Amino acid sequence: MHSILLFFYIFCLAWAKDIIPQYDAELGVTHVFVTNITIIDPSESRQQEEYSRLQSPLHAFHRYKERNLAETKRWRDWYKKIPKKQRSIVESTVKYTRKLNTVEHLFETNEQLAHEIVKHGKQFYNISQTELDQFIKENEKKGVNTDKTSVSQAMKHFVRDWADEGYEERQDAFPCVLGTLANMSRTSEQPLRVLLPGAGLGRLAHEVNVLGGFEVTMNEWSMYMNLAYRYLSSLSSANGKIFHPYIDWWSHQVTTADLQRSVSFPDTLVSPSVLLVEGDFTTVFAEDAGKYDVIVTLFFIDTARNLVSYFENIHRLLRPGGKWINLGPLLYGSAPFLQLSLDEIIALTEHLGFKFQETDASCGDITIPGMAVRGKEVAYARNGKGLSKNAYQAQFWVARKN
């Protein structure tokens, strides 16, 4: 992995791969039949499972500062390995110790944000301080390490989705999706239903909502993302929050001022008319066959453990004639059941009952001659001022359910 961008995208995938099986296994509990009169209430069991899925992320946001300061402490220790004479040159020219001190201080600023996310999360999900304290105590007694990367990634999505700095990246990705939707005939009396699975922090969902004439549902499985999103939704003034998104990775920096810069968010407020449905896309919409006019997958399909289940589910949820709009790469994570090339995805989904439609030339160059799929260079979670410019040849298509 030569880039943090790739690194973060992979983590995004890793969640789906490594945790959902366990999640499924837990789900299985709700289907256990008991021979005596003890009846397991599925809704209660599900609540229990949702509850424990929430505690670990809360714990991780809660420990934001400690986890990051443990890292800066390592950096300090490594720095001590430099011979004294060299260190005094480094100090007199670049003031490296001051840089470490400053970054540690900025982690404290970020911690305020992390704690606000926890505070709002507890309120929103009705978790008491006592419950959370108890969970944290038990977890820490067991020596469980919190997931620092998922916290950092969720917070970096404030930039991708809800800060001015993310504008360029969004402009890479959004116009063809939004243009395709904008061209669909609809009225405010008869809005089209759009579903966006794996929506992250949901900016695209909100841009669809802004077009008007759409009833927008976003879906996200990660409780790290969902906690961040619920927090965003609670904010009532634009650009009222700041944090320092880049201090946890010192590679590819032009200046230390860039590394330490703050970003404010949200550039615009979250709309309550976009619905977030939490949970695994392949299970939470069990009752919704044929419900949606459009499904938009942005940087999503390659998170699948089982791509066929994703495709079948997209097909099942669309009404006949409904459209599937996709934009994203094919970056498979740690343990996919199958890893298909683009041509194989086209063949498979055509067989499942999708017809790929012609799309506008502005949406990229045709990737495979004779097939209606276009490729376009799109960045993901890029630090715009960094020296690393990793991007994907994201694939765009519009396919109609026959």
Ligand X SMILES: *[C@@H]1O[C@H](CO)[C@@H](O)[C@H](O)[C@H]1NC(C)=O
Which of the residues 198 through 217 are near ligand SAM (CB under 6 A)? 198-200
How does strand 318-328 pair with strand 292-298?
parallel
Q: Pick the closer one to ligand X by CB: 128 or 236.
A: 128
Residues 320-339 within binding reach of ligand SAM (CB under 6 A): none
Query: 86 vs 183, which CB is nearer to ligand X?
Result: 183
Which one, 119 or 385, has the nearer CB to ligand X? Answer: 119
Shortest approach of ligand X to residue 318 CB, angstroms? 19
Residues 328-387 that bind ligand X (CB under 6 A): 360
* 3-state SS string for 72-134: HHHHHHHHCCCCHHHHHHHHHHHCHHHHHHHHHHHHHHHHHHHHHHHHHHHHHCCCCHHHHHH
What is the rounded distance in angstroms from the CA atom of residue 307 to the CA atom of residue 17?
A: 12
User: Which of ligand SAM, ligand X, none sits in contact with 187, Cβ below 5 to 8 A by type?
Assistant: none
Min dist. Cβ of residue 299 to ligand SAM (A): 4
Beta-sheet pairing, 192-197 with 214-220? parallel
Q: CA–CA separation, 194 vs 292, rounded Å?
A: 6
Which range touches ligand X (CB under 6 A), out of 21-29, 95-103, 172-180, 212-220? 172-180
Q: Which of 4, 12, 58, 227 binds ligand SAM (CB under 6 A)?
A: 12
Taking CA atoms, 223 is separated from 49, 51, 376, in Å, by 12, 10, 30
Single residue of 121, 197, 266, 333 touching ligand SAM by CB under 6 A: 197
Minimum distance, C-beta of residue 46 to ligand X, in the bound complex (Å) = 12
* Residue (3 or 357) nearer to ligand X, CB: 357
- 38 binds ligand X per the rule CB under 6 A: yes
Say if CB 215 and CB 277 are below 8 A apart: no
Q: Choose the contact partner of 197 out of ligand SAM, ligand X, none; CB within 5 to 8 A by kind.
A: ligand SAM
DSSP state of 145: P
- For residue 12, the minimal CB distance to ligand X (Å) is 24
List the structure tokens of 56: 């670990």
Select 36 or 237, whichever has its Cβ closest to ligand X. Answer: 36
- By CB under 6 A, name the one of 149, 180, 217, 222 that touches ligand SAM: 222
The binder of ligand X chosen from 79, 96, 125, 174 (CB under 6 A): 125
> Residue 126 touches which of ligand SAM, ligand X, none (CB < 5 to 8 A by kind)?
ligand X
The burial class, CB within 10 Å (0-12 / 13-18 / 19+), for 112 is: middle
Phi, psi (5° rounding) for residue 326?
A: -125, 140
Handedness of CA 278, 284, 287, 293 (dihedral sign): positive
Q: Sketch the per residue contact string, 268 through 307, with ligand SAM: x for CB under 6 A, - otherwise.
A: ------------xxx---------------xxx--x----
Give the one residue of 4, 5, 15, 332 binding ligand SAM; rule: CB under 6 A.
15
CA distances for 96 relative to 107, 256, 287, 345, 349, angstroms: 17, 10, 58, 50, 55
Task: Pick one of ligand SAM, ligand X, none as the site partner of residue 176 (Cβ within 5 to 8 A by kind).
Answer: ligand X
Please state, in angstroms and rounded to a whole number, the distance separating the CA atoms of residues 64 and 154. 12
Cα separation of 317 and 173, whole Å?
A: 24
Return the one option of ligand X, ligand SAM, none that residue 180 interacts with (CB less than 5 to 8 A, by type): ligand X
CA atoms of 100 and 252, how far apart (whole Å): 17
> Which position among 221, 243, 292, 396 is part of the footprint of ligand SAM (CB under 6 A)?
221
Q: Give yes or no for a cis peptide into 245 (omega within 30° of 0).
A: no
Burial of 41 from C-beta contacts in 10 A (0-12 / 13-18 / 19+): exposed
Beta-strand relationship, 392-401 and 374-378: antiparallel
Stretch that binds ligand SAM, among 106-114, 184-192, 218-226, 286-294 (CB under 6 A): 218-226
State the distance between the two ends of the chain, measured CA to CA, in whole angstroms: 40
Number of residues that bind ligand X (CB under 6 A): 9
| Contact map string, positions 174 to 203, toward ligand X, x by CB under 6 A | --x--xx--x--------------------
Backbone angles phi, psi at 213, to 5 degrees: 80, 15
Q: Which residues bind ligand X (CB under 6 A)?
A: 36, 38, 125-126, 176, 179-180, 183, 360
Q: Which residues bind ligand SAM (CB under 6 A)?
A: 9, 12, 15-16, 160, 197-200, 219-222, 225, 280-282, 298-300, 303
